[in-house]
Amino acid sequence: MPRFTVHVRDEWLTIPCKDATCSIKWLGFEALKRYIKNKPDNGGIEHIKDVCFAVRRCQGFGLLDNDDTIEDVLEDDDFVELDGNSLTSTDLVNLGKGLYKIKLAPEAEEKVVQSRELLDTIVKENKGLGSPLSPERTRMLLALRINVLAKGHSGVSLETLHSMIQAFNASCLSYVPEKGTGLALINGTQMITSLGAEAVERAEAIARQADIIAALTLEVLKGTTKAFDSDIHELRPHPGQKEVALRFRSLLDSDHHPSEIAESHRFCDRVQDAYTMRCCPQVHGIVNDTIEFVKKIINTEINSATDNPMVFAERGETISGGNFHGEYPAKALDYLAIGVHELASISERRIERLCNPSLSELPAFLVNEGGLNSGFMIAHCTAAALVSENKVLCHPSSIDSLSTSAATEDHVSMGGWAARKALRVVEHVEQVLAIELLAACQGIEFLRPLRTTTPLEKVYDLVRAAVKPWIKDRFMAPDIEAVHRLLVDQKVWNIAGPYIEKYCMEYIPESRPSSPTAFALDPPLSPRKRVRLE
């Protein structure tokens, strides 16, 4: 019997379907029935027949017609095939979000069977401590463990592996404590690596959107684009630095995108801007290169066998080794935290310039009637607090080690903490940049009717669709969270990215980044069977 996984108000529900000719509307109502079944207040739904809802595919959010039949629009092809060698951090994050199901490659099945013939005992599980991982992160952990077991060097039985796949595909998830490692079916570095994959993917997304936000701030502060001249960056040709400068040119090039704001101060007597504006290619650039380095480590780790002992069916023996040691992902994730933090550090300084009238030529704290309204004063304090907290979180965890297991485990990586704090640093960076984006858009209000470049106006429109201008004081947390969500969902990149790509293709094709995914706006696959109910 086919099953369909439906997302309702942050909950995943598995709906069995005997007849695939049933309508999407039927699927929606069945999901709602299951959703309210165990809710004390019926989930706030009084009469289910009166509920209006929309059903969308999870990825791309394509709207499904309620009258369509399930078999016509939800085909059974939303699988990622795992073989232990080709899983990427992007695939893993998408699996964590529930966008795909898993199936095992035939050659992986053969290796698993051969390996199991040498091993007939399974290491007993230990219990960990702390709050459980979220469903998304538990799903990533399970997917990654399946991929490692698929390499066929762990000695797990094929039946057990298929059971794990069935559990994943049915969203039947274990309680996994976030502290401590746990053993048995989550042995190795999968805990570290799965959280690290999320951290590096989110870091990559916020890093490229940071360039767009900084470009908008530069426009509001009436900065110059001379510091992004390509000849300057050819003299210090770090890949990340060159790419950031290229993005700034693509967003601010006055010949390509006329800006009334830029034209208004074309003949000003300012010689150069503050470091936080003109040094963006150098500061943001090393963050890009750091993320690329860490991503290579994580993707290698994703497809590595990290069990102990290792089972070599072709040699007919098992060998104890040290592949379980988490030093590689731990060191890489400490490096990621240090690198990506700098985006928040420099962003907070730009927020200061936006809020300080002696530096911005704008009203104090970006609000009129400053005696009655505090404007962005508290938002700036929030950004400063997040940056300060990051400074502590960026202290490397992998330089520590405590001996356990009667001195057998006498050097450990502390990689679990490295991964968890890297994720927290990335989230803080996202929030600081959300505040900067809010502040930059507020600054635009005081420069009207002048307009900035076309792509940056599109970004402004995106923000204004979610958050109103700041006229008088109100509770700001919902505004910050709304813009934070735009960044997490990569909406800012999806709006401005095509303009960056078009500029590269039309003006300087030889400078287009060599990576085929440098300007990818969405993952290449479209899931069919996972749906979202709104």
Q: Which CATH superfamily is domain 79-187 in?
A: Fumarase/aspartase (N-terminal domain) (1.10.275.10)
pLDDT of residue 407: 81
Per-residue model confidence (pLDDT) at position 236: 96
Type and span of the H or E element at 31: helix 24-37
CA–CA distances in Å: residue 257 to residues 254, 263, 414, 451, 511? 5, 11, 49, 11, 19
Nearest Cα neighbor of 342 from 429, 273, 228, 436 is 429
Could you give the C-alpha distances from 97 to 6, 171, 471, in angstroms and in order?
Answer: 12, 11, 37
pLDDT at 184 over 50: no
Place of tokens 């509770």: 475
Rounded to an integer, what distance in angstroms lies between the CA atom of residue 361 and that of residue 346? 20
Domain 1-76 part of CATH 1.10.20: no
- The answer, yes or no, to whether residue 51 has pLDDT greater than 50, is yes
pLDDT of the residue at 75: 59
Domain extents in the chain:
1-76, 79-187, 195-304+328-401+412-507
At residue 513, does pLDDT exceed 80?
Answer: no
Provide the pLDDT for residue 153: 82
The answer to whether the Cα torsion of 412, 414, 419, 422 is positive or negative is negative
Q: Is the predicted pLDDT of residue 60 greater than 80, yes or no?
A: no
For residue 435, what pLDDT is reported? 98
122 pLDDT higher than 50? no
pLDDT at residue 127 tops 60: no
Q: 133: which 2 tokens? A: 């991982």
Rounded Cα gap, residues 250 and 244, in angstroms: 10
> Residue 114 corresponds to which amino acid?
Q
46 against 413, higher pLDDT: 413
Residues 6+ apart with CB under 8 A from 48: 29, 32, 33, 36
Residue 516 pLDDT > 60: no
The contacts of residue 388 (CB under 8 Å, 6+ apart) are: none
Find out whether 189 and 151 touch, Cβ atoms under 8 Å.
Answer: no
| SS3 state at 349 | helix
Contact yes or no for 431/481 (Cβ under 8 A): no
Report residue 525's pLDDT band, with 50, 70 and 90 as the boundaries.
very low
Give me the pLDDT at residue 444, please.
97
List of residues 6+ apart from 511 with CB closer than 8 A: 230, 242, 246, 504
Q: What is the mean pLDDT of residues 299-313?
A: 85
Q: What is the mean pLDDT of residues 73-81?
A: 68
**CB environment 433-443: b (16+ within 10 A), e (fewer):** bbbbbbbbbbb
> What strands lie across the sheet with 63-64, from one edge to the other?
11-16, 3-8, 530-533, 55-57, 63-64
What pLDDT, on the 0 to 100 scale, is given for residue 45? 76
Tokens coding 462: 């995106």
Model confidence band, residue 453 (pLDDT cutoffs 50, 70, 90): very high
* Structure confidence by residue, pLDDT tens digits, 272-283: 899 999 999 999
Higher pLDDT, 328 or 52: 328
Whole-number pLDDT of residue 297 = 96
Q: Band of the pLDDT at 360, cuts 50, 70, 90?
A: very high
Q: What is the DSSP letter of 228?
A: G
In words, the CATH class of domain 195-304+328-401+412-507 is: mainly alpha
- Whether the pLDDT of residue 242 is over 80: the answer is yes
Q: What integer best gives the mean pLDDT of the chain?
A: 85
pLDDT of residue 71: 78
Highest mean pLDDT among 248-257, 289-298, 405-414: 289-298
Average pLDDT (28-42) is 81
DSSP for residue 365: G
In the predicted structure, residue 412 carries a pLDDT above the cut 80: yes
Both tokens of residue 195? 């959280």
- 11-16 vs 3-8, strand pairing mode: antiparallel
Whether pLDDT at 529 is above 60: no
With CA atoms as reference, report the closest residue to 87 among 353, 321, 304. Answer: 304
Q: What is the mean pLDDT of residues 307-335?
A: 88
Q: pLDDT band at 517, cuts 50/70/90?
A: very low
Which pLDDT score is estimated for 527?
A: 35
Of the pLDDT bands very low, low, confident and very high (cuts 50, 70, 90), residue 21 is confident
Assess whether pLDDT exceeds 70 at residue 126.
Answer: no
Residue 518 has pLDDT above 60, yes or no: no
Q: Tokens 């199901």 sit at which residue? A: 101
User: 378-392, 393-407, 443-457 — which is least confidently predicted?
Assistant: 393-407
Could you give phi then psi for residue 235, rounded to 5 degrees? -80, -10
Task: Name which of 131-140, 204-213, 234-243, 372-381 the model is least confident about.
Answer: 131-140
Q: Can you give the pLDDT at residue 202?
A: 97
How far apart CA 201 and CA 241 sit, in angstroms, is 20
In 83-159, the DSSP E strands lie at 101-104, 129-132
What is the pLDDT at residue 124?
Answer: 39
Higher pLDDT, 248 or 179: 248
Q: In the prediction, which pLDDT does 356 show?
A: 96
Mean pLDDT of all residues in 31-35: 85
pLDDT bin (cut points 50, 70, 90) of residue 469 is very high
Question: What confidence category does residue 519 fall into, taking pLDDT thresholds of 50, 70 and 90?
Answer: very low
Buried/exposed code over 55-70 (b: 16+ C-beta within 10 A; e: otherwise): bebbbeeeebeeeebb
CA dist 192 → 157, 173, 186, 249 (Å): 24, 18, 11, 38
Q: What average pLDDT does this structure show over 106-117?
A: 82
Residue 505: pLDDT band with limits 50, 70, 90: confident
Which is nearest to 303 in space by CA: 485, 134, 143?
143
Rounded CA separation 422/92 (Å):
17
